Amino acid sequence: MNEMIRKKYAEKLSTADRVAGMVRSGDRIFFAEFALRPECLDEALAKRAGELTGVMVEGVCITRVPKFIEADPKREHFIYNDWHFSGVSRKLYQQGLCSYIPFTYHQGPRVLRKYKEYDFVFVNARPMDSQGYFNFGMCNSLTSAAITKAKNVVVEVNENMPHCLGGNQESVHISRVDYIVEGNNPLIQEIRPATPSETDEKIAEHIMKEIEDGACLQLGIGGLPNVIGSMISRSSLKDLGIHTEMLVDSMVDLYNEGRITGNYKTIDRFKMVYTFAMGTKKLYDFLHNNPACASYPVNYTNDPRIIGVNNRVVAINNAVEIDLFSQVCSESAGVAQISGTGGQFDFIFGAFYSRGGKGIIGLSSTFTDKEGKIHSRIVPTLQPGSIVTVPRSIVQYVATEYGIVQLKGKSTWERAEALIGIAHPSFRDELTRQARDMKVWLDRNRPDA
C-alpha cells in the first residue's frame, strides 16, 4: 500500500457515532442490501432516534430488523422503504413500519441515477486492498449506483465478508469514499435454503424435462429452485451455465460436481454471473476470491437484452397465483404486498429472446388458508388489488404438480384450457364453468365451436 493511500485512509477513518451524529432530520440514507448490514452504523443511528424526524432510509430486502427501526416502533423518526420485500420486510409492512418501492429490478440503477438523491450511503465492504479499493462482497446490485448519487459515502469494514470478484462495479476506490468505519466484524448472516415440499418435487419433475445440456440457468428463491438443483445433481445433465440475479448454495454443489462449466455460454463464458448471493457459509467461502464467479450490477445481470444473448436460458421463478387470462401475480395477496417484482419479469422476458430459451413460472396448484380451507392458485381472475408481476403477453411456460404448459402464441381460450389442465382436479369443473361465463372458453363439443 503506497503512502498516499495510507494517508487518505487515516484522514477518512471515523467512528459510527461520529458519522451518525452528522445525520439531520429530513436526510435520505441508502442502507445496504440483503444479508449485509452496517451493524455499527445501524446501532449508532438507533441511538439518535429521539433527536431526528423524517429521516428517509432505503434498503434492499433486509433479512433482519434494523436497530433504528426497533428504536422507533411508531415510525415517528425514521421512514423505512424497501426495494424488495423479504419475510422481515413483510412483517414490518404489516405493522406499518415499512413501505415498498415498485420497480423493475434491471432498471433499479437507472432509477437511482435519474430520480434519487442521498445524503448518506452506508455500505458494508471488505477491508481496503493495497490499491485502495473496498470490495462490496456478495451484494452489488444497486450499491454502485447509489454511491454515484450520495453526498456522503460511508464504508463500514467487515473482515468476514468474502472478496467477490467482478464483473464490474464490485468495488469502490477510497477516493470516492468520505468516511471509513472499522466495524466489529460480525459473521455474515446465513440464510438456510428453504425445505422443499412434496409438491415442489412434483413441479420440479415437469420442469426438469425442459432443461438440456448446455442450458444457462437462473433460479429464483425458495424450495422449488433448491429441489431442481438436487434433481440436476442426480441427472445426466452437463455443461450448464449460470446467469442469475441470486447465487445460492445449490449452485455451489452443482459446480463442485462438474455440472456447471459455462462452456456453452455466449457471454461471460465459464463465469457464474450474479448480482447478489445469499445462503450459508459454504456459499460465502466458495465466493471468496473465486475467479469462476463474476459479480455485476443488476442493470447488467437482469437486462433482458443481456439475458437473451446466452443460448438455452432456462429461468425458473415462483408465483402466488395466475388467472385464466394467464396474468401472473408473484408479489401480493390481494392488496397486501408480500414480496416484489424483483427480477422475475426481467428473466421471463429475457429468456424468450434467448435461442432455445424458456421462462418458467412454477407454482403449486393449491394453497391452504389459516382456517384449513383449500384454494386454487389458478383462478378465473386475480383477486382485487393483486399486482400483475408478469403480464399475459410475456408469460411463456407455467408449471404445477400436474404438468407444464407453453402459452406463447395461444389464444385466450387455448390459454384457459391449458391452465385448467394443470389445475388441481377438484377445481377444474368450476374453473371451466367460470371460463365459459367469462367467454374465454371454447366448447369443442358444440356444433358451432
Q: How much is the pLDDT for 444?
A: 64
The answer to which of 25-34, 217-226, 321-330 has the lowest mean pLDDT is 217-226
Per-residue confidence (pLDDT) for residue 126, from 0 to 100: 97
Whether 120 is in a domain gets the answer yes
20-61: pLDDT as tens digits: 999 999 999 999 899 999 999 999 999 999 999 999 999 999
Question: Do residues 134 and 253 both lie within one domain?
Answer: no
CB 166 within 8 A of CB 296: yes
Catalytic one of 58, 156, 170, 245 = 245
> Using one digit for the tens of pLDDT, what is the confidence trace for 140-188?
999 999 999 999 999 999 999 999 999 999 999 999 999 999 999 999 9
Report how many domains make up the chain.
Answer: 2
* 162 and 232 co-located in one domain: no
What are the backbone dihedrals phi and psi of residue 404, each rounded to the nearest 5 degrees, phi first? Answer: -135, 140
Beta partners for residue 361, in sequence order = 317, 398
- Measured CA to CA in angstroms, residue 145 lies from 245, 300, 323, 379 at distances of 16, 12, 36, 39
Whether 153 and 202 map to the same domain: the answer is no
250 and 376 share a domain? yes
Overall size of the chain counted in residues: 449
> Residue 230 has what pLDDT?
87
Nearest alpha carbon to residue 126 among 87, 164, 86? 164
* Contact of 184 with 40, CB cutoff 8 Å: yes
User: In degrees, to the nearest 5, what angle opens at C-alpha 259 toward C-alphas 255 and 261?
Assistant: 70
Tell me the C-alpha distance between 278 and 191, whole Å. Answer: 6
Q: Which of 155, 182, 209 is the last residue of a domain?
A: 182
Collapsed DSSP state (helix, strand, coil) of residue 255: helix
Mean pLDDT over 273-290 rounds to 97
For the segment 260-283, the average pLDDT, to the nearest whole number, is 97
Residue 34's identity, in one-letter code, is F
User: Residue range 216-223: average pLDDT?
Assistant: 84
Judge whether residue 449 has pLDDT over 60.
no
Q: Cell triple for residue 290?
A: 473465486
Domain range for 53: 3-182
Question: What is the C-alpha separation between 106 and 349, in angstroms, rounded?
Answer: 12
Q: Beta strand pairing status for 403-406 and 397-400? A: antiparallel
- The answer to whether residue 117 is catalytic is no
Q: Are residues 306 and 357 in the same domain?
A: yes
CATH of the domain at 69: 3.40.1080.10
More confident call, 119 vs 37: 119
Check residue 223 and give its pLDDT: 81
Q: What is the pLDDT of residue 446?
A: 52
Q: Same domain for 114 and 232?
A: no
**Within a domain: 191:** no
Average pLDDT, the chain: 95
Has residue 445 got a pLDDT over 90?
Answer: no
Residue 408's identity, in one-letter code, is: K
Chain segment 403-438, per-residue pLDDT in tens = 999 999 999 999 999 999 999 999 999 999 999 999
